[in-house]
A and B are shown apart, each in its own frame.
Chain A
């Protein structure tokens, strides 16, 4: 079964740090680019960061640039999000999501597999 499982969420004080992990299974992780998306309580979806399959290309949303760092370990089938200088407005459910590729290898940029999410609460 194709699956993504996030972990590492929790309660952290403002200014603190947290590292999220996303474990992939059921597919060739090293062949797919990956993303992190978050959703604040009662709010919509916010794309945060993209990392290519070989980590050569990385993008960040302005809201997290300079504070969050995405990385991956293809040998461990894992994606990571290092979050520093956390703020109350970073409180959200954080999802990892796989970039979709069709049978010809083309990607329209959609996200076809999502994890269940991990909750991050930034509060004193």
Chain B
């Protein structure tokens, strides 16, 4: 099974900061990597699919990159509504569309 890790597990940042979250797969998943945002008590929301494709309606301050085993999610200028937990997910290997453990972004 493919294992996913994320770093950092949490971070504190200020409005306007540039934030980068890293996701690593235990083996190559080419570009089958997706990113989700989840706020407390809410369902996850798809932000990025296939490593770098912005889901419709998602602000352009979100961007994704990477391929193979190493991926990033970048928020270019953090906004108040971006404080949430972010999860990566691999969709390369079925069964087992594994999620990463999450990165919580909170206010400094």
Does B associate with A? Answer: yes
> Is B34 touching A59 in the complex (CB atoms < 8 A)?
no
Q: In angstroms, how far is the closest chain B Cβ from the Cβ of A98?
A: 10
B14 at the interface (CB under 8 A from A): no
Q: In angstroms, how far is the closest chain B Cβ from the Cβ of A32?
A: 14
Interface of A is mostly: strand
A110-B46 contact in complex given A44-B87, A45-B87, A50-B94, C-beta closer than 8 Å = yes
> Is A115 touching B55 in the complex (CB atoms < 8 A)?
no
List, in ascending order, chain B residues with CB within 8 A of A45's CB.
36, 38, 44, 87, 89, 99, 102
A61 at the interface (CB under 8 A from B): yes
| Number of B interface residues in the complex (CB < 8 A) | 26
| Number of A interface residues in the complex (CB < 8 A) | 22
Contact with B along A76-108 (1 / 0, CB 8 A): 000000000000000000010000100000001
Contact with A along B78-108 (1 / 0, CB 8 A): 0000000001010110111111111000000
| A-B CB contact pairs (8 Å), 27 listed | A44-B87, A44-B100, A44-B102, A45-B36, A45-B38, A45-B44, A45-B87, A47-B89, A47-B96, A47-B97, A50-B94, A59-B96, A62-B96, A95-B44, A100-B55, A108-B34, A108-B50, A109-B92, A110-B50, A110-B91, A111-B36, A111-B46, A111-B89, A112-B46, A114-B45, A115-B43, A117-B43
Give residues in A with beta carbon < 8 Å to B. 35, 37, 44-47, 50, 59-62, 95, 100, 108-112, 114-117
Give residues in B with beta carbon < 8 Å to A. 1, 32, 34, 36, 38, 43-46, 49-50, 53, 55, 87, 89, 91-92, 94-102
